[in-house]
Amino acid sequence: MRCSRMNDGELPPGAAALGDVSSAEFRDQLHQVADWIADYRERIEQRAISPHDAPGAIAAALPATAPCAPESFKTILEDLDRIIVPGLVHWGHPSFFGYFGSTTTAPGILGEMICAALNVSAMTWRTSPAATELEGVVLDWLRQMLQLSPAHHGVVYDTASVATLHALAAARESLQLDVRKQGLSGRAGLPRLKLYASDQAHSSIEKAAVVLGIGAENVTRIRCDAEYRMLPAALVAAIERDIALGCKPCAVVATVGTTSATSVDPVTDIVAVCRKQGVWLHVDAAYGGAMAMLPEGRWAMAGADDADSIVVNPHKWLFVPLDFSTLYTRRPELLRSVFALTPEYLQGDASGGAENYMDYGIQLGRRFRALKAWMVFRTFGEDGIRARIREHRRLAQLLASWVESESGFELMAPVHMGVVCFRARADSLTPQEADALNESIVTTINATGKAYLTYTRLRGRVAIRLAIGNVLTTERHVAACWESIRGERQGRP
C-alpha cells in the first residue's frame, strides 16, 4: 500500500479529525470561493480564451496519485489557479463564439452552488418532495413560455442526446413490439426498425439508434433544400420505400435549429406526413426552441406542439448553465412503460399520485437541476430572457449585414437565430485551397486567445461559424472578432 497503513480508527500524523472540514474553516473557504468566482466572472475578458498546451501537459503537471495526507485549501486553490484554470477553454468569455455559445449566468452559478450544498436526489417524490415538485413547476413554466400545450408532460434530463434517446425509446415502445420484455435479439419475426432525420440533424440520433438496438445504419438521412431544411417529399419517398421493403418506420426527427446552420425543418408538413403514416414525430429544438419565447420567433416552432415529443435545451440558449435539457411529450405513459422499474428498496416510495421522475428514464439518482433553472427564470424574468435572446439575434443580423457588405466574404446560410455561417471567398483558389484558407482563419484567430470560433461544412465547403449566446457578449465583442477575421483575410491570397 502506498500510504501508511493504520489500525482502525487511527489517524495519520497531522491528519484532521474525522468528519467534514470545520464549520469555521468552511465558512472562510466559501467566502474565498465567492470572491474567486466573482473575480473570475469580472475579469474573464483579460484571459486567453483557449490554452496552447499539448495534450497530456496538464495531467503531467499534476501528481500521478492522490495525496495520502490532507492538503490545505490554500494549496488546492493555488493549483487551481496555476494549473487547471489556464488549461481551460473559457466558454463564459464574451468573445467565445464556438458551438452553441455559453449560458453561464450569475443566477445559474448560484443555483449550482446551492444544489451542491443540498445534494438531494430527485428520483422519487419521497426522496425529496420539493425537488420533485419544483421540477414539475419549472417544467410547466417553461412549457408555457414556449407556448406548448398542457398536454405535453415534461421531464428534465442532462443533455439533448439523452432526452432524444428517451423520446426514441418511447417511440419504439409505441410500436408494441414487447421490446422491454423480450428485447430485440433473436426474434425472427421482427421487422427492421427505421428512423428518419435530415442530413443536417444531430449525430445524437445515430447514438440513440445504437443504444436502442435499432442500429445506426437504420437511420435514414433525408435530403434538404438549399436552406438546409428537410424535404418532406423526400421523407415520404423514404418511408414508402422502407414500408415496401417490409421495414417498420419508428420515428421521424425534425430539427428546429440545426447544429451547423440553425435551419428549421418544415415541422407542420412533417407532422402531416407522420400522422398519415402513423409514425412518431420527435422535434429536436435543443437550440432553436428558445425562439418560441419571441412573438417574432414563434414561426420556428410552428407545428412542434403537435409532435409526440420535443427536446429543448435551456443550457443552449435559455441561460441555464450546463446541464439542463427538457423533454416534453404527449405520451408520458410510454416513457413510463419503458423505464418504470421500482427496486424492492424503493417500493415504499410509491407515493400515491405524486410524480416519481425515476420512472421516466434510465437514471435513478437525479440531480436537483430544477433549482438553477428556477433561479435563472426568476432573476431575469420572462421579459429579461426574451430581451437577451432578441439582442443575440440583433447581433447576429448585424454581423450578417457586415459579411454581406464585404466583397471578400459570403454568407453560407440564412441567419434566423444567434448563429452566422459565412466564408472568405477566394475565387482564385481551388475549392480545397479555399477550405484550407477558411479553416486557417479560424485556427489563427483561436490561437490568439482573443476570440473563439468553430468551422463547419455546408454544401460540402468549409464555413466559419460564429454563435452568439452569452449574456456578457456585446456589439463590441462581435465587431472586434469580425475585424480580426477581416484582418486575417487581408493577409492571404
Rounded distance between C-alpha atoms, residue 470 and residue 189, angstroms: 51
Shortest gap between Cβ of 329 and ligand PLP (angstroms)? 16
Shortest gap between Cβ of 221 and ligand PLP (angstroms)? 14
Between 204 and 484, CB nearer to ligand PLP? 204
Q: Which residues bind ligand PLP (CB under 6 A)?
A: 100, 159-161, 202, 204, 255, 257-259, 284, 286-287, 313, 325
Shortest gap between Cβ of 270 and ligand PLP (angstroms)? 15
171 close to 251: Cβ distance less than 8 angstroms:
yes
Between 159 and 470, CB nearer to ligand PLP? 159
Between 437 and 453, CB nearer to ligand PLP? 453
Between 91 and 409, CB nearer to ligand PLP? 91
Between 284 and 435, CB nearer to ligand PLP? 284
Shortest gap between Cβ of 344 and ligand PLP (angstroms)? 33
Shortest gap between Cβ of 85 and ligand PLP (angstroms)? 23
Shortest gap between Cβ of 313 and ligand PLP (angstroms)? 5
Task: Tell me the three cell numbers of residue 412.
Answer: 453560407
Q: Which residues pair with 409 in a beta bridge?
A: 424
Between 202 and 388, CB nearer to ligand PLP? 202
Shortest gap between Cβ of 315 and ligand PLP (angstroms)? 7
Between 409 and 455, CB nearer to ligand PLP? 455
Between 179 and 290, CB nearer to ligand PLP? 290
Shortest gap between Cβ of 304 and ligand PLP (angstroms)? 13
